[in-house]
Structure 1
Amino acid sequence: MMTALAIGLVLGVTVWWILIQRLMDKPWTRRGVLDGSQDGLTSSAPKVGLWLFMAMATSLFLIFNSAYLMRMGFGHGGLHPWVPLAEPGILWFNTFVLIAASAAMQTASGAARKGDIGGLRKYYTAGGVLSVVFLAGQLLAWRQLSATGQYGPSDPAYSFFILLTAMHGLHLLGGLWVLGRTATRVWRGLDAQNVVAVGKVRQSVRLCTTYWHFLLLVWLGLFTQLTIT
Protein backbone atom coordinates (compact mmCIF):
# COMPACT_ATOMS: atom_id res chain seq x y z
CA MET A 1 0.00 0.00 0.00
CA MET A 2 2.77 2.42 0.91
CA THR A 3 4.59 1.57 -2.32
CA ALA A 4 1.49 2.37 -4.39
CA LEU A 5 1.08 5.68 -2.54
CA ALA A 6 4.75 6.56 -3.13
CA ILE A 7 4.45 5.85 -6.85
CA GLY A 8 1.20 7.83 -7.02
CA LEU A 9 2.95 10.76 -5.34
CA VAL A 10 5.82 10.60 -7.85
CA LEU A 11 3.34 10.51 -10.75
CA GLY A 12 1.37 13.45 -9.34
CA VAL A 13 4.49 15.58 -8.82
CA THR A 14 5.70 14.77 -12.34
CA VAL A 15 2.42 15.79 -14.00
CA TRP A 16 2.27 18.92 -11.82
CA TRP A 17 5.81 19.91 -12.83
CA ILE A 18 5.04 19.51 -16.54
CA LEU A 19 1.88 21.63 -16.23
CA ILE A 20 3.75 24.33 -14.30
CA GLN A 21 6.43 24.48 -17.00
CA ARG A 22 3.77 24.95 -19.67
CA LEU A 23 2.05 27.72 -17.71
CA MET A 24 5.33 29.50 -17.00
CA ASP A 25 5.90 29.72 -20.75
CA LYS A 26 2.71 31.90 -20.95
CA PRO A 27 1.78 31.06 -24.56
CA TRP A 28 -1.28 33.33 -24.34
CA THR A 29 0.99 36.39 -24.14
CA ARG A 30 2.72 35.72 -27.48
CA ARG A 31 2.03 37.92 -30.45
CA GLY A 32 2.63 37.53 -34.13
CA VAL A 33 3.16 34.27 -35.92
CA LEU A 34 2.90 31.17 -33.75
CA ASP A 35 5.76 28.66 -33.67
CA GLY A 36 5.48 26.24 -36.55
CA SER A 37 2.52 28.02 -38.15
CA GLN A 38 4.60 28.97 -41.18
CA ASP A 39 5.01 25.30 -42.02
CA GLY A 40 1.28 24.76 -42.46
CA LEU A 41 0.22 21.20 -43.05
CA THR A 42 3.84 20.05 -43.27
CA SER A 43 4.37 20.76 -39.57
CA SER A 44 1.11 18.99 -38.67
CA ALA A 45 2.02 15.69 -40.35
CA PRO A 46 4.80 14.71 -37.86
CA LYS A 47 2.51 15.58 -34.93
CA VAL A 48 -0.29 13.41 -36.27
CA GLY A 49 2.20 10.62 -36.97
CA LEU A 50 3.58 10.79 -33.45
CA TRP A 51 0.15 10.71 -31.82
CA LEU A 52 -0.91 7.78 -33.99
CA PHE A 53 2.27 5.92 -33.04
CA MET A 54 1.71 6.64 -29.33
CA ALA A 55 -1.87 5.41 -29.67
CA MET A 56 -0.65 2.14 -31.19
CA ALA A 57 2.07 1.80 -28.56
CA THR A 58 -0.50 2.39 -25.83
CA SER A 59 -2.69 -0.36 -27.29
CA LEU A 60 0.28 -2.71 -27.34
CA PHE A 61 1.15 -2.06 -23.71
CA LEU A 62 -2.50 -2.45 -22.70
CA ILE A 63 -2.59 -5.85 -24.42
CA PHE A 64 0.53 -6.93 -22.53
CA ASN A 65 -0.97 -5.55 -19.34
CA SER A 66 -4.13 -7.63 -19.84
CA ALA A 67 -2.05 -10.74 -20.54
CA TYR A 68 -0.01 -10.03 -17.40
CA LEU A 69 -3.09 -9.80 -15.18
CA MET A 70 -4.71 -12.86 -16.76
CA ARG A 71 -1.58 -14.99 -16.33
CA MET A 72 -1.12 -13.80 -12.77
CA GLY A 73 -4.54 -15.14 -11.84
CA PHE A 74 -4.18 -18.39 -13.79
CA GLY A 75 -1.88 -20.80 -11.99
CA HIS A 76 -3.48 -24.16 -12.62
CA GLY A 77 -3.80 -26.56 -15.53
CA GLY A 78 -0.18 -27.65 -15.33
CA LEU A 79 1.20 -24.12 -15.70
CA HIS A 80 3.98 -22.86 -13.51
CA PRO A 81 2.50 -21.03 -10.49
CA TRP A 82 2.80 -17.28 -10.30
CA VAL A 83 5.49 -16.24 -7.84
CA PRO A 84 5.80 -12.45 -7.36
CA LEU A 85 9.23 -11.03 -8.03
CA ALA A 86 11.37 -9.26 -5.48
CA GLU A 87 11.93 -6.24 -7.74
CA PRO A 88 15.48 -4.85 -7.60
CA GLY A 89 15.77 -1.61 -5.67
CA ILE A 90 17.56 -0.02 -8.63
CA LEU A 91 14.19 0.30 -10.35
CA TRP A 92 13.45 3.23 -8.03
CA PHE A 93 16.68 4.90 -9.08
CA ASN A 94 15.87 4.24 -12.74
CA THR A 95 12.44 5.80 -12.29
CA PHE A 96 13.85 9.03 -10.90
CA VAL A 97 16.45 9.10 -13.69
CA LEU A 98 13.69 8.88 -16.31
CA ILE A 99 11.77 11.64 -14.54
CA ALA A 100 14.92 13.79 -14.68
CA ALA A 101 15.31 12.96 -18.40
CA SER A 102 11.73 14.04 -19.07
CA ALA A 103 12.31 17.24 -17.09
CA ALA A 104 15.49 17.96 -19.08
CA MET A 105 13.59 17.46 -22.34
CA GLN A 106 10.88 19.86 -21.19
CA THR A 107 13.51 22.46 -20.32
CA ALA A 108 15.20 21.94 -23.69
CA SER A 109 11.87 22.47 -25.43
CA GLY A 110 11.44 25.74 -23.55
CA ALA A 111 14.95 26.83 -24.57
CA ALA A 112 14.15 26.01 -28.20
CA ARG A 113 11.02 28.15 -28.10
CA LYS A 114 13.04 31.07 -26.74
CA GLY A 115 15.83 30.63 -29.30
CA ASP A 116 18.34 29.80 -26.56
CA ILE A 117 20.69 27.54 -28.54
CA GLY A 118 23.09 27.11 -25.63
CA GLY A 119 20.33 25.98 -23.28
CA LEU A 120 18.91 23.73 -25.97
CA ARG A 121 22.25 21.97 -26.43
CA LYS A 122 22.79 21.52 -22.70
CA TYR A 123 19.38 20.23 -21.68
CA TYR A 124 18.69 18.23 -24.84
CA THR A 125 22.00 16.41 -24.40
CA ALA A 126 21.25 15.90 -20.70
CA GLY A 127 17.92 14.31 -21.61
CA GLY A 128 19.66 11.88 -23.94
CA VAL A 129 22.41 11.00 -21.46
CA LEU A 130 19.92 10.42 -18.64
CA SER A 131 17.87 8.18 -20.91
CA VAL A 132 20.94 6.07 -21.65
CA VAL A 133 21.60 5.85 -17.90
CA PHE A 134 18.02 4.65 -17.44
CA LEU A 135 18.51 1.89 -20.03
CA ALA A 136 21.79 0.86 -18.41
CA GLY A 137 19.98 0.70 -15.07
CA GLN A 138 17.30 -1.55 -16.58
CA LEU A 139 19.97 -3.92 -17.85
CA LEU A 140 21.54 -3.93 -14.39
CA ALA A 141 18.14 -4.83 -12.90
CA TRP A 142 17.99 -7.82 -15.28
CA ARG A 143 21.45 -8.92 -14.16
CA GLN A 144 20.57 -8.58 -10.49
CA LEU A 145 17.51 -10.78 -10.90
CA SER A 146 19.41 -13.33 -12.95
CA ALA A 147 22.28 -13.40 -10.44
CA THR A 148 19.97 -14.54 -7.64
CA GLY A 149 19.52 -17.88 -9.41
CA GLN A 150 15.88 -17.95 -8.27
CA TYR A 151 14.29 -17.05 -11.59
CA GLY A 152 14.31 -18.46 -15.09
CA PRO A 153 12.30 -18.54 -18.32
CA SER A 154 9.77 -20.89 -16.71
CA ASP A 155 8.84 -18.26 -14.10
CA PRO A 156 5.92 -16.25 -15.52
CA ALA A 157 6.50 -13.17 -13.34
CA TYR A 158 10.16 -13.03 -14.37
CA SER A 159 9.32 -13.57 -18.05
CA PHE A 160 6.75 -10.78 -18.01
CA PHE A 161 9.19 -8.48 -16.23
CA ILE A 162 11.74 -9.00 -18.99
CA LEU A 163 9.10 -8.64 -21.71
CA LEU A 164 7.55 -5.42 -20.38
CA THR A 165 10.83 -3.68 -19.57
CA ALA A 166 12.33 -4.78 -22.90
CA MET A 167 9.38 -3.40 -24.87
CA HIS A 168 9.60 -0.10 -23.02
CA GLY A 169 13.36 -0.02 -23.58
CA LEU A 170 12.96 -0.62 -27.32
CA HIS A 171 10.53 2.29 -27.57
CA LEU A 172 13.03 4.47 -25.73
CA LEU A 173 15.84 3.37 -28.05
CA GLY A 174 13.73 4.44 -31.03
CA GLY A 175 13.28 7.84 -29.42
CA LEU A 176 17.01 8.12 -28.79
CA TRP A 177 17.68 7.54 -32.50
CA VAL A 178 15.48 10.54 -33.39
CA LEU A 179 16.98 12.57 -30.54
CA GLY A 180 20.49 11.79 -31.76
CA ARG A 181 19.74 13.01 -35.28
CA THR A 182 18.40 16.31 -33.99
CA ALA A 183 21.24 16.69 -31.47
CA THR A 184 23.75 16.24 -34.28
CA ARG A 185 22.20 19.13 -36.19
CA VAL A 186 22.22 21.32 -33.09
CA TRP A 187 25.84 20.59 -32.16
CA ARG A 188 27.15 20.98 -35.71
CA GLY A 189 26.12 24.60 -35.58
CA LEU A 190 22.61 26.02 -35.68
CA ASP A 191 22.24 29.55 -36.97
CA ALA A 192 19.72 31.30 -34.74
CA GLN A 193 18.90 33.62 -37.65
CA ASN A 194 17.96 30.75 -39.95
CA VAL A 195 14.20 30.67 -39.31
CA VAL A 196 13.58 27.49 -41.31
CA ALA A 197 16.37 25.48 -39.67
CA VAL A 198 15.46 26.69 -36.18
CA GLY A 199 11.79 25.91 -36.84
CA LYS A 200 12.58 22.33 -37.84
CA VAL A 201 14.78 21.77 -34.81
CA ARG A 202 12.19 23.36 -32.52
CA GLN A 203 9.51 21.05 -33.86
CA SER A 204 11.70 17.97 -33.50
CA VAL A 205 12.57 18.89 -29.91
CA ARG A 206 8.90 19.50 -29.12
CA LEU A 207 7.88 16.12 -30.54
CA CYS A 208 10.70 14.33 -28.71
CA THR A 209 9.62 16.01 -25.48
CA THR A 210 6.05 14.83 -25.96
CA TYR A 211 7.31 11.31 -26.63
CA TRP A 212 9.54 11.34 -23.52
CA HIS A 213 6.60 12.40 -21.36
CA PHE A 214 4.61 9.55 -22.90
CA LEU A 215 7.37 7.03 -22.16
CA LEU A 216 7.63 8.32 -18.60
CA LEU A 217 3.90 7.84 -18.00
CA VAL A 218 4.05 4.35 -19.53
CA TRP A 219 6.97 3.42 -17.30
CA LEU A 220 5.26 4.77 -14.17
CA GLY A 221 2.26 2.60 -15.04
CA LEU A 222 4.44 -0.46 -15.60
CA PHE A 223 6.48 0.20 -12.49
CA THR A 224 3.34 0.51 -10.38
CA GLN A 225 1.97 -2.73 -11.76
CA LEU A 226 5.22 -4.65 -11.29
CA THR A 227 5.69 -3.34 -7.77
CA ILE A 228 2.21 -3.99 -6.35
CA THR A 229 1.79 -7.43 -7.98
Structure 2
Amino acid sequence: MRSQELWRAEPGEGGESGWVPATERPGRIANTAIWLLLAVISVLFLLFLVAFISRAQLDDWPSLTGFGAPLADFRPLWLNSLLLLAASLALVDARRALAGANRQRLMLGILLAGAFALLFLIGQLRLWQLFEATGYALDANPASSFFYLLTGLHGLHLMGGLLVWGFLLGQLLALDQQQLPGHHFASSLQLCARYWHFLLLIWLLLFLVLTRTPETFRAIAAFCGLG
Protein backbone atom coordinates (compact mmCIF):
# COMPACT_ATOMS: atom_id res chain seq x y z
CA MET A 1 0.00 0.00 0.00
CA ARG A 2 1.08 3.59 -0.57
CA SER A 3 1.06 4.35 3.15
CA GLN A 4 3.55 1.54 3.76
CA GLU A 5 5.98 2.63 1.04
CA LEU A 6 5.91 6.39 1.57
CA TRP A 7 5.81 8.71 4.51
CA ARG A 8 4.85 12.37 4.72
CA ALA A 9 7.69 14.87 4.92
CA GLU A 10 7.83 18.21 6.66
CA PRO A 11 6.47 21.16 4.63
CA GLY A 12 9.06 22.30 2.11
CA GLU A 13 9.71 25.64 0.50
CA GLY A 14 6.55 27.62 -0.07
CA GLY A 15 4.71 25.60 2.57
CA GLU A 16 4.27 22.61 0.28
CA SER A 17 4.27 19.10 1.70
CA GLY A 18 5.00 15.93 -0.17
CA TRP A 19 5.82 12.25 0.01
CA VAL A 20 9.32 10.97 0.66
CA PRO A 21 10.46 7.44 -0.28
CA ALA A 22 10.57 5.11 2.70
CA THR A 23 14.15 4.21 1.79
CA GLU A 24 15.19 7.67 2.99
CA ARG A 25 13.72 7.07 6.43
CA PRO A 26 16.86 5.37 7.89
CA GLY A 27 18.99 8.27 6.70
CA ARG A 28 16.75 10.83 8.39
CA ILE A 29 16.69 8.78 11.60
CA ALA A 30 20.49 8.43 11.57
CA ASN A 31 20.89 12.16 10.91
CA THR A 32 18.70 13.01 13.90
CA ALA A 33 20.51 10.44 16.05
CA ILE A 34 23.97 11.86 15.28
CA TRP A 35 22.85 15.39 16.20
CA LEU A 36 21.45 14.10 19.49
CA LEU A 37 24.72 12.24 20.14
CA LEU A 38 26.79 15.35 19.45
CA ALA A 39 24.57 17.37 21.78
CA VAL A 40 25.02 14.83 24.60
CA ILE A 41 28.80 14.71 24.10
CA SER A 42 28.95 18.51 24.05
CA VAL A 43 27.14 18.73 27.38
CA LEU A 44 29.42 16.06 28.84
CA PHE A 45 32.61 17.90 27.89
CA LEU A 46 31.13 21.23 28.97
CA LEU A 47 30.41 19.86 32.45
CA PHE A 48 33.94 18.47 32.77
CA LEU A 49 35.45 21.76 31.61
CA VAL A 50 33.38 23.70 34.17
CA ALA A 51 34.63 21.30 36.85
CA PHE A 52 38.18 21.76 35.52
CA ILE A 53 38.05 25.56 35.73
CA SER A 54 36.37 25.47 39.15
CA ARG A 55 38.97 23.07 40.57
CA ALA A 56 41.81 25.18 39.16
CA GLN A 57 40.95 27.92 41.66
CA LEU A 58 42.48 26.02 44.57
CA ASP A 59 46.07 26.58 45.68
CA ASP A 60 47.21 22.99 45.00
CA TRP A 61 46.66 23.38 41.25
CA PRO A 62 50.03 23.31 39.43
CA SER A 63 50.69 24.80 36.02
CA LEU A 64 50.91 22.35 33.12
CA THR A 65 52.79 24.87 30.98
CA GLY A 66 55.42 26.27 33.36
CA PHE A 67 59.12 25.51 33.33
CA GLY A 68 59.69 21.75 33.63
CA ALA A 69 55.98 20.99 33.15
CA PRO A 70 54.94 18.51 30.43
CA LEU A 71 53.19 21.16 28.31
CA ALA A 72 55.98 23.72 28.45
CA ASP A 73 56.58 22.75 24.81
CA PHE A 74 53.40 22.90 22.70
CA ARG A 75 54.89 21.07 19.72
CA PRO A 76 53.48 17.60 20.59
CA LEU A 77 50.01 19.14 20.93
CA TRP A 78 50.35 20.97 17.62
CA LEU A 79 51.46 17.75 15.91
CA ASN A 80 48.48 15.84 17.28
CA SER A 81 46.16 18.67 16.23
CA LEU A 82 47.52 18.56 12.68
CA LEU A 83 47.01 14.79 12.55
CA LEU A 84 43.38 15.09 13.59
CA LEU A 85 42.86 17.95 11.13
CA ALA A 86 44.37 15.78 8.39
CA ALA A 87 41.92 12.98 9.26
CA SER A 88 38.98 15.37 8.88
CA LEU A 89 40.29 16.73 5.59
CA ALA A 90 40.78 13.19 4.28
CA LEU A 91 37.11 12.44 4.95
CA VAL A 92 36.11 15.66 3.19
CA ASP A 93 38.15 14.57 0.17
CA ALA A 94 36.60 11.08 0.34
CA ARG A 95 33.12 12.59 0.12
CA ARG A 96 34.17 14.66 -2.89
CA ALA A 97 35.64 11.58 -4.51
CA LEU A 98 32.40 9.67 -4.00
CA ALA A 99 30.42 12.52 -5.54
CA GLY A 100 32.83 12.49 -8.49
CA ALA A 101 32.61 8.69 -8.86
CA ASN A 102 36.35 8.33 -8.23
CA ARG A 103 36.66 5.03 -6.38
CA GLN A 104 40.44 5.02 -5.99
CA ARG A 105 40.45 8.49 -4.49
CA LEU A 106 37.55 7.49 -2.25
CA MET A 107 39.47 4.51 -0.93
CA LEU A 108 42.59 6.61 -0.40
CA GLY A 109 40.66 9.25 1.51
CA ILE A 110 39.07 6.71 3.84
CA LEU A 111 42.38 4.92 4.45
CA LEU A 112 44.18 8.19 5.18
CA ALA A 113 41.44 9.29 7.59
CA GLY A 114 41.85 6.12 9.62
CA ALA A 115 45.64 6.26 9.49
CA PHE A 116 45.80 9.87 10.69
CA ALA A 117 43.30 9.13 13.47
CA LEU A 118 45.39 6.18 14.66
CA LEU A 119 48.53 8.33 14.57
CA PHE A 120 46.69 10.93 16.65
CA LEU A 121 45.88 8.29 19.30
CA ILE A 122 49.51 7.13 19.28
CA GLY A 123 50.58 10.76 19.73
CA GLN A 124 48.24 11.04 22.70
CA LEU A 125 49.77 7.95 24.29
CA ARG A 126 53.24 9.42 23.81
CA LEU A 127 52.00 12.60 25.46
CA TRP A 128 50.79 10.56 28.42
CA GLN A 129 54.26 8.97 28.61
CA LEU A 130 55.74 12.47 28.66
CA PHE A 131 53.49 13.34 31.60
CA GLU A 132 54.68 10.23 33.44
CA ALA A 133 58.33 11.02 32.71
CA THR A 134 58.04 14.56 34.07
CA GLY A 135 56.36 13.46 37.30
CA TYR A 136 52.79 14.30 36.25
CA ALA A 137 51.26 10.85 36.65
CA LEU A 138 47.53 10.24 36.79
CA ASP A 139 47.36 10.69 40.57
CA ALA A 140 50.27 13.15 40.92
CA ASN A 141 48.17 16.29 41.15
CA PRO A 142 44.68 17.59 40.21
CA ALA A 143 45.87 19.22 36.98
CA SER A 144 47.41 16.04 35.58
CA SER A 145 44.37 14.01 36.67
CA PHE A 146 42.08 16.31 34.70
CA PHE A 147 44.43 16.16 31.71
CA TYR A 148 44.24 12.35 31.63
CA LEU A 149 40.48 12.48 32.12
CA LEU A 150 39.73 14.97 29.36
CA THR A 151 42.16 13.61 26.77
CA GLY A 152 41.22 10.02 27.62
CA LEU A 153 37.52 10.77 27.19
CA HIS A 154 38.22 12.41 23.85
CA GLY A 155 40.31 9.42 22.78
CA LEU A 156 37.50 7.00 23.69
CA HIS A 157 35.07 8.93 21.50
CA LEU A 158 37.59 8.88 18.66
CA MET A 159 37.95 5.11 19.00
CA GLY A 160 34.18 4.88 18.73
CA GLY A 161 34.43 6.81 15.48
CA LEU A 162 37.07 4.38 14.26
CA LEU A 163 34.56 1.54 14.68
CA VAL A 164 32.26 3.29 12.21
CA TRP A 165 35.25 4.02 9.98
CA GLY A 166 36.09 0.29 9.99
CA PHE A 167 32.51 -0.54 9.02
CA LEU A 168 32.71 1.87 6.07
CA LEU A 169 36.05 0.46 4.97
CA GLY A 170 34.65 -3.09 5.16
CA GLN A 171 31.68 -2.09 3.00
CA LEU A 172 33.96 -0.55 0.41
CA LEU A 173 36.30 -3.55 0.32
CA ALA A 174 33.33 -5.89 -0.16
CA LEU A 175 32.45 -4.22 -3.48
CA ASP A 176 34.00 -5.01 -6.83
CA GLN A 177 36.99 -2.87 -7.72
CA GLN A 178 35.02 -0.93 -10.32
CA GLN A 179 31.82 -0.65 -8.29
CA LEU A 180 30.85 2.47 -6.40
CA PRO A 181 28.91 2.31 -3.11
CA GLY A 182 25.33 3.50 -3.02
CA HIS A 183 23.20 6.00 -1.16
CA HIS A 184 23.42 4.36 2.26
CA PHE A 185 27.23 4.38 2.14
CA ALA A 186 27.23 8.04 1.14
CA SER A 187 24.91 8.87 4.04
CA SER A 188 27.08 6.92 6.50
CA LEU A 189 30.21 8.64 5.20
CA GLN A 190 28.60 12.04 5.67
CA LEU A 191 27.66 11.23 9.28
CA CYS A 192 31.13 9.83 9.99
CA ALA A 193 32.75 12.99 8.62
CA ARG A 194 30.45 15.16 10.72
CA TYR A 195 31.43 13.22 13.83
CA TRP A 196 35.13 13.57 12.95
CA HIS A 197 34.81 17.34 12.48
CA PHE A 198 33.03 17.58 15.83
CA LEU A 199 35.83 15.70 17.60
CA LEU A 200 38.34 18.03 15.97
CA LEU A 201 36.50 21.03 17.39
CA ILE A 202 36.35 19.39 20.83
CA TRP A 203 40.09 18.72 20.68
CA LEU A 204 40.88 22.32 19.71
CA LEU A 205 38.79 23.49 22.66
CA LEU A 206 40.69 21.13 24.98
CA PHE A 207 43.98 22.39 23.53
CA LEU A 208 42.93 25.96 24.23
CA VAL A 209 41.88 25.23 27.83
CA LEU A 210 44.64 22.83 28.87
CA THR A 211 47.43 25.16 27.78
CA ARG A 212 46.21 28.15 29.81
CA THR A 213 47.83 29.26 33.05
CA PRO A 214 46.16 29.13 36.51
CA GLU A 215 45.88 32.92 36.37
CA THR A 216 43.82 32.63 33.19
CA PHE A 217 41.54 30.07 34.86
CA ARG A 218 40.96 32.45 37.75
CA ALA A 219 40.06 35.24 35.33
CA ILE A 220 37.66 32.95 33.44
CA ALA A 221 36.11 31.77 36.70
CA ALA A 222 35.64 35.34 37.92
CA PHE A 223 34.06 36.34 34.60
CA CYS A 224 31.68 33.35 34.63
CA GLY A 225 30.93 33.61 38.35
CA LEU A 226 32.63 30.32 39.22
CA GLY A 227 35.14 31.74 41.68
TM-score, length of structure 1 as denominator length:
0.76
- 1:3 paired residue number: none
Matched, 1:130 2:116: yes
Pair 1:109-2:95 in alignment: yes
Separation (CA, whole Å) in 2 of partners of 1:37 and 1:73: 56
TM-aligned CA deviation for residue 210 of structure 1: 0.5
Please give the secondary structure, in 2, of the residue aligned with 1:228. Answer: coil
Name the CA distance, whole Å, in 2 between partners of 1:210 and 1:190.
Answer: 27
2:156 to 165, 170, 173: 170
Deviations along 1:147-189, whole A, 9 cap, x unmatched?
Answer: 1225450401100000000000000000000110110111222
Q: Give me the whole-angstrom Cα distance separating, in 1, the residues matched to 2:168 and 2:155.
A: 20
- Distance in 2 between residues matched to 1:40 and 1:184, nearest whole Å: 22
Give the superposition deviation at 1:115: 2.2
Identify which of 210, 215, 219 aligns with 2:194: 210
Q: What amino acid does structure 2 have at the position aligned with 1:211? A: Y
Matches within 5 A, 1:15-164: 39-75=23-59, 81-85=60-64, 86=69, 87=71, 89-164=75-150
Larger radius of gyration: 2
Tell me how far apart the structure 1 counterparts of residues 23 and 63 of structure 2 sit (CA, whole Å). 51
Distance 1:131 1:200 in 2: 23
Q: Which moved more, 1:84-93 or 1:201-210?
A: 84-93
Pair 1:162–1:144, CA change in 2 (3 A):
same
Hey, what does 2:223 align to over in structure 1?
none
Distance 2:191 2:176 in 1: 18
Question: CA-to-partner distance for each residue in 1:44-87, whole Å, 9 max, x for gaps?
Answer: 01111111000000000000000000000133xxxxx0001131
Residues in 2 aligned to 1:180 and 1:226: alpha-carbon distance in whole angstroms: 31
**AA of the residue aligned to 2:196:** W
Which amino acid is 1:96 matched to? L
Equivalent pair of 2:136/2:144 in contact (CA under 8 Å): no
In structure 2, distance between residues paired with 1:43 and 1:190: 24
Identity, in percent, stands at 37
Structure 1 or 2: more helix by fraction:
1
Q: Is the 8 A contact 1:68 1:160 kept in 2?
A: yes
Residues 141 and 193 of structure 1: CA distance in aligned 2, closer, same or farther (over 3 Å): closer
Distance in 2 of aligned mates of 1:37 and 1:114: 24
Give the AA of the match of 1:220: L
Q: Which runs of 5+ in 1 are unaligned?
A: 1-35, 76-80
Distance of aligned partners of 1:187 and 1:193 in 2 relative to their CA distance in 1, 3 Å threshold = closer
Confirm or deny: 8 A CA contact 1:111 1:117 kept in the other structure.
yes
Q: Encode CA deviations 1:80-139: one digit per residue, 9 max, x unaligned.
A: x00011315311110111111111111111112222221110011100100000000000
Question: Does residue 219 of the first structure (1) align with residue 203 of the second (2)?
Answer: yes
Contact 1:97 1:133 in 2 (8 A): yes
Amino acid at match of 2:163: W
